[in-house]
């Protein structure tokens, strides 16, 4: 969790570095990685999951991005939601087609995490190691953990393992394995408290 490393790239929606190589090494070798959205938001080449699952995964990533944007810019919630509805969810941006997101689920995650921010932050602070505060975490990490915590608190219809796994996947889009493990451990600790 720190500054960017050499060769990292940035998304247009978040100014957090993605931990992917500058150039992709798969079959599309000529396509630059810095033009690709985070892995969790791209439509996969092979469909292995149900459309609802993909739509919810896209909604989670977009909710993290919106939460980050709200914290960085202070964008009013109605304006922020409208921007994502009209210009990001399921859109094609710079010849990249973003996955269709479950709009209602996205709205619930963003507005719910915002409305319950105080309660969520207390839960997160209670699970951080001694000497750590929420302010010490970088903003993209805070957004991931806040939205994940909200889903654990409010979306009892989603199993704990699914919530944790999904936000670990979101973390993989922005961070290395170490930070993804941090998300896993923190959300697991919060789940044991709020879903007991």
Residue 62 near residue 86, CB atoms below 8 Å: no
pTM of the model: 0.74
Mind listing the pLDDT tens digit for each residue in 113-160?
A: 999 999 999 999 999 988 888 999 999 999 999 999 999 999 999 999
pLDDT at residue 98 in the model:
73
23: β partners: 32
Rounded CA gap, 51 and 17, in Å? 28
Read off φ and ψ for residue 92, nearest 5 degrees: -105, 120
Is residue 121 within a helix (H) or strand (E), and if so which, with residue range? helix 117-127
105: CB partners within 8 A, 6+ apart: 55, 56, 59
pLDDT at residue 49 in the model:
56
Instruction: Provide the sign of the torsion angle of the four alpha carbons 109, 168, 8, 101, taken in this order.
Output: negative
Is residue 30 within a helix (H) or strand (E), and if so which, with residue range? none
Mind listing the pLDDT tens digit for each residue in 26-35?
A: 333 334 344 4
Beta-strand pair 96-97/92-93: antiparallel
Which residues in the chain land under pLDDT 50?
A: 1-37, 39-48
pLDDT at residue 95 in the model:
73
- CA-closest candidate to residue 116, choices 155, 157, 79: 155
Is residue 92 within a helix (H) or strand (E), and if so which, with residue range? strand 92-93
pLDDT at residue 29 in the model:
37
Instruction: Provide the sign of the torsion angle of the four alpha carbons 13, 19, 21, 22, taken in this order.
Output: positive
């Amino acid at each position: 969790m720190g500054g960017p490393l050499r060769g990292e790239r940035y998304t247009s929606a978040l100014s957090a570095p993605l931990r992917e190589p500058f150039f992709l090494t798969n079959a599309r070798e000529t396509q630059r990685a810095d033009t690709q959205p985070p892995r969790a938001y791209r439509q996969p080449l092979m469909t292995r999951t149900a459309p609802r699952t993909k739509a919810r995964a896209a909604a989670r990533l977009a909710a993290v991005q919106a939460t980050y944007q709200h914290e960085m810019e202070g964008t009013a919630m109605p304006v922020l939601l409208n921007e994502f509805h009209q210009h990001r969810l399921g859109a094609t941006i710079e010849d990249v087609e973003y996955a269709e997101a479950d709009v209602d689920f996205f709205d619930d995650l963003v507005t719910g995490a915002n409305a319950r921010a105080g309660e969520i932050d207390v839960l997160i602070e209670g699970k951080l190691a001694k000497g750590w505060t929420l302010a010490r975490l970088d903003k993209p990490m805070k957004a991931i953990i806040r939205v994940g915590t909200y889903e654990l608190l409010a979306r009892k219809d989603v199993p704990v393992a699914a919530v944790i796994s999904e936000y670990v996947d979101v973390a993989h889009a922005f961070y290395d394995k170490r930070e993804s493990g941090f998300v896993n451990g923190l959300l697991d600790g919060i789940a044991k408290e709020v879903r007991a």
